[in-house]
Amino acid sequence: MSDPRRQLLLELYTRLVLLPSAEQPAAAALCAENAGTSARWQGVLEEPPHESAVRIAHSLGIGPPGLQLWRASWSSEVQGVAPLTRLAMVAARLLAGREELLLLAARCGREPSPIGPGSQVAEGVLVDGNSCARMAVAGLDVETELSAGRGLALLEAAGDLLYGAGQATAAPQFLVIGLNMAVGELGARGSARLLGA
Amino acid sequence: MRLLLIEEDPQLCALIGHHVSCRWPEALISAHPPTRSGVIPDEFLAQGYDAVLLAQHWPGGEGLDWLHQLAGRKGFAPVIFLADAEPGSRLQESAMSWGAFAVTGRKRIAHRELIAAIESASLRQRRALADWRVSAQALESHRFGDARIPGYRRARLLARGSTSHLYLAESEKAGALVALKVTPSQRDESGADRSFERFLQEYQISERVQHPDIVRLYELGVADDHAYLAMEYFPLGDLRRRMTPGLSPLEALEIAEQLAEVLAAIHAAGILHRDLKPGNVMMRTAHQVALIDFGLAKQAALELDLTDKGLIFGTPHYMSPEQGHGRVVDERTDLYSLGILLYEMLTARKPYVADNPMTVLYLHANAPLPQLPEPLMELQPVLERLLAKSPGDRFADAAAAAAAIGAARRSWLERISGS
């Protein structure tokens, strides 16, 4: 039922966010190697979230199969998930129809919270090539909702919000992980093995 | 986490599945599209599921009606009603008063609300099942004659036979109603359980022949010295029931073509069915058949003949001349039976009828070939290639029969479409 690529991104995020920054590239490279693919650190996103989304989507779309990772430090005038909502909504529209592309973006700080199943507070997003289609199935018009400032509702309806335990620091730091991998390429191997577990 | 999702719209099914799998990556969701899968049989309690998600409506159906029906069943899994209406509406109140465990949005899914509702429902279901499993009622419900078979809840006895009894049961593992065939403990002087060997043969045949038009077998086992075989249950019944209101020639040809194709598959595996009759052709849907009962099936190359020597097994009305006279049979014996079935589907009567079985067998071998009425005469050549007295005059194999029946069906369709 579940897309194993989404699980891979979630598990990779969970693993990386618990490591010091200096150790993250090596850990990501190891994960990628286990997956039989590559991981490329693309540096720090300097632009605002919506402009970063364009750069990320372009890089993923033209790049080779594999993982791409960025860090960001958006000091938004609005705290919480607002920067991520902007990033995610632009990315979701740019990735639409590209089933091989996924993008996870989530907060990280010195005291990262666990993220994923069972958590309660939205602290990240995970969009893919079907996100906009799911929003439409939920009866939501993307443009209408965005113009009314309801991006978060769009992401919730599509099931694309990631929930944490609400213990992250207020530091506006983010980890962004993109994946270019066709559906089914990962299923047989399983994400646990890809992560070297 | 295991959920039953009663929803017609495949896109909504996928969306709900996405939300659920974000929380429970290993969740199993069985979709039940009401217009295609039909009503849920009265005996089904969804005990193999943590919860049932029920849509508010679908073309030609209302979820509230189903809710009333399902939630009213004692022991039914918690039902989460997926409503299109806004929270706090009268419809939500109605759903709760009619037994819904929770009400949440159908399209505008509030992720956390949905997940919380499923979590609570699952908790309640697991507690209820834990209580039920140690009850006297549960122990009694696992009883099938003298055998106690865990994991199956007896719904009712469907049929009592000389070599086995057939029950309707709910399988927790399959999450569905199943037909459960249970044998009396039956061992010969050598200690061999011949009933079990028959079941085993049937199971092996099903495993070997992977074809969608063959009954699905879920489990073969032994409990309290009784062999049992759990297989797919067909609420729509068999071809006999399907024929009762009458079939159009096109429907008859469609069914015959499907049967020829499935016979080709089992023959390719070296197996003969040898007992093709309306009672062994089940209706999975109004237009899709499933072949059952390989109890008489025989691998062409198998030395061990489980049917006793000197006895003729099978149904005389559908039996080929060579089978009826105890001669060597090959795959063309099944084609003859298919011919009888086709004739009966087209005319609503059997070609050879007599007061006793022996006379029927005599007629199969010696009576003139049956003639179709004038409006169906263009189908006569196909029928004659199936019903030829000599196997050598029949179609060479089931694939050839399927091709010929398919061509006749298309020709018939063109004719009625043009008229």
**pLDDT tens for residues B300-317?**
433 333 343 444 455 689
Respond yes or no on whether ipTM tops 0.95.
Answer: no
Q: Where is average pLDDT lowest: B71-80, B81-90, B335-344?
A: B81-90
C-alpha pair distances (Å), B79 with each of B21, B105, B246, B371: 19, 14, 38, 55
Percent of chain B scored above 90 by pLDDT?
A: 53
B200 touches chain A (CB under 8 A): no
Q: What's the average model confidence in pLDDT over B323-341?
A: 90
Give the confidence band of A189 by pLDDT, cuts at 50, 70, 90: very low
Q: CA torsion sign, A55 to A56 to A59 to A61?
A: negative
Option in A120, A139, A159 nearest B18 (CB) = A159
In chain A, residues 159-178 whose CB comes closer than 8 Å to chain B = 159, 161, 163
Selecting among B213, B275, B293, B397, the annotated active-site residue is B275
Q: What's the average model confidence in pLDDT over B57-65?
A: 90
Residue B390: what pLDDT? Answer: 93
Interface test with A, best of B8, B9, B16, B18 (most A CBs within 10 A): B18
Q: Where is average pLDDT lowest: A76-80, B305-309, B366-370, B381-385?
A: B305-309
The reply to whether residue B15 touches residue A3, judged by beta carbons under 8 angstroms, is no
A120 touches chain B (CB under 8 A): yes
Give the confidence band of A47 by pLDDT, cuts at 50, 70, 90: confident
B17 touches chain A (CB under 8 A): yes
The reply to whether residue A134 touches residue B15, judged by beta carbons under 8 angstroms, is yes
Q: How far is CA B23 from the centre of its chain?
A: 34
Q: What's the average model confidence in pLDDT over A34-46?
A: 85
The reply to whether residue B28 touches residue A1, judged by beta carbons under 8 angstroms, is yes
Q: Where is average pLDDT lowest: A82-96, B16-30, B109-123, B182-196?
A: B182-196
Chain length of chain B: 419
Q: Where is average pLDDT lowest: B225-239, B245-259, B308-322, B361-375?
A: B308-322
Residue A178: what pLDDT? Answer: 94
Q: Evaluate if residue B259 carries a pLDDT over 80.
A: yes
Q: Where is average pLDDT lowest: A70-74, B191-195, B365-369, B413-417?
A: B191-195
The reply to whether residue A157 touches residue B108, judged by beta carbons under 8 angstroms, is yes
Q: What's the average model confidence in pLDDT over B237-246?
A: 92
Residue B188: what pLDDT? Answer: 59
Percent of chain B scored above 70 by pLDDT?
A: 92
User: Domain extents for chain A?
Assistant: 4-182
Q: What is the pLDDT of residues B272-298, one digit of tens each?
A: 888 899 999 999 988 899 998 775 555
Can B275 be counted among the known catalytic residues?
Answer: yes
Q: Which residues in chain B are contacts of A7 at CB distance < 8 A?
A: 25
Q: Where are the beta strands (DSSP E) in B118-214?
A: 143-144, 147-148, 152-160, 165-171, 176-182
Q: What's the average model confidence in pLDDT over B85-91?
A: 75
Secondary structure of B142-166 as H, E, C letters: CEECCEECCCEEEEEEEEECCCCEE
Q: Which residues in chain B are contacts of A164 at CB distance < 8 A?
A: none
Residue B152: what pLDDT? Answer: 93
Q: Which residues in chain B are contacts of A118 at CB distance < 8 A?
A: 23
CB count, 10 Å around CB of B189? 5
A104 or A23, which is more confident? A104
Residue the block writes with tokens 């599509």: A158
Residue A98, min C-alpha distance to chain B (Å): 17
Option in B23, B29, B108 nearest A138 (CB) = B108
Q: Evaluate if residue B97 carries a pLDDT over 70.
A: yes
B256 or B271, which is more confident? B256
Tokens of B254: 């469609």
Residue A171: what pLDDT? Answer: 60
Task: State how far the Cα of B346 lies from the Cα of B386, in Å rounded to an integer.
Answer: 14
Q: Evaluate if residue A160 carries a pLDDT over 60.
A: yes
* CATH for A4-182 (3.40.47.10, 2.30.30.280, 3.40.1480.10, 1.10.150.670): 3.40.1480.10
Residue B303: what pLDDT? Answer: 32
Residue A46, min C-alpha distance to chain B (Å): 30
Q: Which residues in chain A are contacts of B7 at CB distance < 8 A?
A: none
Q: What's the average model confidence in pLDDT over B132-159?
A: 89
Q: Evaluate if residue B223 carries a pLDDT over 50.
A: yes
Q: What's the average model confidence in pLDDT over A150-169?
A: 79
B116 touches chain A (CB under 8 A): no
Q: What's the average model confidence in pLDDT over B213-219?
A: 90
Give the confidence band of A188 by pLDDT, cuts at 50, 70, 90: very low
pTM: 0.75
Give the confidence band of A81 by pLDDT, cuts at 50, 70, 90: low
Q: What is the mean pLDDT of chain B?
A: 87
DSSP state for residue A181 in the 8-state scheme? -
In chain B, residues 240-299 whose CB comes closer than 8 Å to chain A = none
Q: Which residue of A has its CA nearest to B11?
A: A137
Q: Where is average pLDDT lowest: A159-173, B114-128, B225-239, B252-266?
A: A159-173
Q: CA torsion sign, B265 to B267 to B272 to B274?
A: positive
Residue A156, min C-alpha distance to chain B (Å): 6
Q: What's the average model confidence in pLDDT over B352-379?
A: 91
C-alpha pair distances (Å), B300 with each of A119, A126, B60, B95, B303: 60, 57, 49, 58, 8
Tokens of B164: 């086995």
